[in-house]
Amino acid sequence: MGGQPRGERLGNPGPDQGYALRLARGFTARLQLGYGERAADVVVGCVGVALKRAALFGRAPMVGDLELAFSIFGFLDEAPTGDQLDERRSLFAEVSHHHHYTEVRRIADRVPESVLWLGAAAARDAFTV
């Protein structure tokens, strides 16, 4: 007995997950948001992806995890327009509210594990929203 519970959608929690929110604050000025997107939603959604990546490596989150998460969804590049922006805005809408855990999980689950093993530039090339 003891240790972390195992089961579907429980994942592999890594240490010091709250640190990812502190690291994410360093990215807020760099975020390229489109019309109707909110930085708080983008941060929470991408922190979920960053934590998933950190857990794969069995460590606390690092700046590189957040760089990858923000990059693959295009938040560090010029904001998309049209249908791409509509899809991204819909995916991240309101996820900063604590009762939207399922939506944050949907964002993290959308990114294949194979992409999370890559560096930020390679992941951006391998993943499309």
Q: Identify the pLDDT of residue 111.
A: 96
CA atoms of 27 and 66, how far apart (whole Å): 8
Q: Identify the pLDDT of residue 32.
A: 96
Q: Residue 1: is its pLDDT beyond 60? A: no
Reported pTM = 0.87
Give the angle subtended at the CA of 110 by the CAs of 44 and 41, to the nearest 5°.
20
Better pLDDT: 37 or 2 = 37
